[in-house]
Amino acid sequence: MAERFSSLSPDLAQWWREQPVFFVATAPSGDAGHVNLSPKGLDTLRVLAGDRVAYLDLTGSGVETIAHLRDNGRITLMACAFNGNPRISRIYGRGVVHVAGSPEFDELAPEFPDLPGRRSIVEVAVERVTTSCGYAVPLMDLVDDRDRLVDWAKNKGDDGIAAYWENKNALSIDGLPGLDRPEVDA
């Protein structure tokens, strides 16, 4: 049965920490523009408190989440249990982007692995948490993390990442501002 909460209980917070993958959904303001849904992994989610979570945002092909959060702050995170007891949980909240090199990023960075290509930390003020059964979510075994993104960022190097941000992460697909200053903290 579905349940709704105003924050993460200790048990649910632990469950979120144990999930190897989670998904982030955002959308621009108004009726135009594209909804974005992105998978995340590599041990990048942290439950900082029952009403506060954050994740390490790595360089990617787009900048939709950052652009949408700067536009309106709305964000939803979702995780599914692919093993053990079935469960789906969503965290709804308001997100802010702390770009690499900012004081807020530097304050939260020790909570996360030191992965190359780190471009921001997304901090979410939790407004609502739900759980549902997940009975139709398939059972799957985790083989391993993919390290291709980490290898790609290492091969690019700091200057290559900064150039990539400038060329590929300055605007969202809808033309909203993304990264406004390329700084690398790799």
pLDDT for res 181: 54
- pLDDT for residue 182 is more than 80: no
Domains of the chain: 3-168 (2.30.110.10)
pLDDT for res 186: 45
pLDDT for 8-28, tens place per residue? 999 999 999 999 999 999 999
Residue whose entry in the numeric block shows the structure tokens 């135009």 = 32
What phi and psi values does residue 37 have, to the nearest 5 degrees?
Answer: -135, 120
Residue whose entry in the numeric block shows the structure tokens 């700084």 = 183
- pLDDT for residue 7 is more than 70: yes
pLDDT for 38-87, tens place per residue? 999 999 999 999 999 999 999 999 999 999 999 999 999 999 999 999 99
Residue 122: which of 93, 157, 160 has the closest Cα?
Answer: 93
Question: Side-chain half-sphere of 143: how many Cα atoms within 13 Å?
Answer: 2
pLDDT for 85-119, tens place per residue? 999 999 999 999 999 999 999 999 999 999 999 99
pLDDT for 151-174, tens place per residue? 999 999 999 999 999 999 999 999
What is the rounded distance in angstroms from the CA atom of residue 178 to the CA atom of residue 67?
A: 5
Task: Dump the DSSP string for 51-103.
Answer: TEEEEEEEP-S--HHHHHHHHT-EEEEEEE-SSSS--EEEEEEEEEEEETTSH
* Number of neighbouring beta carbons within 10 Å of residue 70: 19
Residue 92: which of 46, 125, 57 has the closest Cα?
Answer: 125
**Which tokens is 172 given?**
């969202």
What is the rounded distance in angstroms from the CA atom of residue 108 to the CA atom of residue 110?
A: 6
Query: Per-residue confidence at 1, pLDDT binned at 50, 70, 90?
Result: low
pLDDT more than 90, % of the chain = 94
